[in-house]
Structure 1
Amino acid sequence: MNKIDSSLYLSNQPKNRAPSPNLGKDEFIKILMTQLQNQDPLNPMEDKEFIAQMATFSQLEQMMHMASSIDTLVHNQLVSPVIQYSHMIGKEVTYESENEKTGEKSIVTSQVVAVSQKDGWAILELDNGEKIYADSVLKVKEQQLKEGENDE
């Protein structure tokens, strides 16, 4: 490269390099190759060390992949609770209710009229005016038709 070409090349390079917080397989291989190239020829790295480093890297890579898979699973589980529980609209649910004043518990049945969410949790809105978490439901059944009502 002549002087003009090299200055053009250097001027097109990023001014500030930011180190990557993640080390991947390629970075590990580069470090390992550098280590092998720069080892003392009279005292080379033993096979056991090399194999141990590769095994450690392999375990780390598997753990990172597993963490990524778990993140994906958690994300998929947190698909909108509104969508997950929308099938509950129109159903009768039975749940345990506690009177705030007396602390007395009773079993209540009411129809789900809407589903909302709060902090990633499904909230069932009932026709009796109460809102309950979906996981507090004890029983679900189709709504019973009252006498004189037609199922049209």
Structure 2
Amino acid sequence: MTTAVNGDPFAAINNSTTGTGSNKKKESLGQAEFMRLMTEQLKHQDPLKPLSNSEFIGQLAQFSTVQGISELNTTVNGFTTALTGDQVLKGASLVGHDVLVPSEKLALGAQGNATGLVMSPGTGSLKIEITDASGVVVDTIDIDAAKGETAFAWDGLKANGERAPEGVYAIKATHTDDTGKATKLNTYVDSTVESVTIGSDGLYLNLPGLGTAPLEYVLRIGKSAS
């Protein structure tokens, strides 16, 4: 249950404006320009049909509103820049750490085991089936489950005792309660953050063999089982 990066993480760079501020054409009216326009309006208005005080106040209110929105946009842009910097620091701190994410597959390295957990609905038995790319079940893990978090670990060995090749394997967890009722459970696996991508909508963790997962998918930092 991985997800691809949404959006262009370099959009902010590609859409930035080049050149110096002095060469940029001014496209908006400032306060001074507005007051000059108002003065000209007073000088050239029809003396038989002069503008009322309420009309002048309305124009001033409109200008004040536009100016306020412009200042608000500047403030929001400042917040956005600050948040982006904070995201960079968060991403850098996660690289090299183990995280627990929802996934229906796990990655087995050349050495060591692969770990994860499920949320058991109650007591009973738990069966974890590990399947290779061709759909063949290479190993099965049986666990006595208690209600709540139940960790599992695959030692990387096939059912015949041979070491399974390094790669990505599918996993399926089934819980059977004391009455014999079987329920398929969601699986969560441990993975080490290889790198972090800063997308336009947040951080994405690059996990070896699992692809990318958004930061909000992380349930825990640290391994679930040894």
Q: TM-score range by the shorter chain?
A: 0.5 to 0.7
Work out the number of aligned pairs and report it: 125
Aligned pair partner of 1:124 in 205, 210, 213:
205
Greater helix share, structure number: 1
Structure 1 vs Structure 2 CA RMSD:
3.3
Q: Which runs of 5+ in 2 are unaligned?
A: 1-23, 106-132, 136-169, 173-185
For 1:31, the equivalent position in structure 2 comes to 37
Between the aligned partners of 2:171 and 2:31, the Cα distance in structure 1 is: 59
Contact preservation (8 Å) 2:99, 2:191: yes
Q: Which runs of 5+ in 1 are unaligned?
A: 1-17, 147-152
Seq. identity, %: 25
Greater strand share, structure number: 2
* Counterparts in 2 of 1:28 and 1:22: CA distance versus 1, 3 Å: same
* Counterparts in 2 of 1:60 and 1:26: CA distance versus 1, 3 Å: same
* Counterparts in 2 of 1:82 and 1:70: CA distance versus 1, 3 Å: closer
* Counterparts in 2 of 1:85 and 1:118: CA distance versus 1, 3 Å: closer
SS class of match (1:85): helix
Contact preservation (8 Å) 2:205, 2:215: yes
2:50 paired with 1:44 = yes
For 1:83, the equivalent position in structure 2 comes to 89
* Counterparts in 2 of 1:103 and 1:61: CA distance versus 1, 3 Å: farther
- Report the alpha carbon displacement of residue 90 of structure 1 after superposing the two structures with TM: 4.2
Q: TM-score, normalised by structure 2?
A: 0.45
For 1:115, the equivalent position in structure 2 comes to 195
Between the aligned partners of 1:30 and 1:140, the Cα distance in structure 2 is: 61
Letter in 2 for 1:94: L
- Report the alpha carbon displacement of residue 56 of structure 1 after superposing the two structures with TM: 0.8
For 2:59, the equivalent position in structure 1 comes to 53
Contact preservation (8 Å) 1:115, 1:122: no
Letter in 2 for 1:117: T
Contact preservation (8 Å) 1:81, 1:117: no
SS class of match (1:78): helix
Further displaced range: 45-54 or 95-104: 95-104
SS class of match (1:107): strand
* Counterparts in 2 of 1:30 and 1:83: CA distance versus 1, 3 Å: same
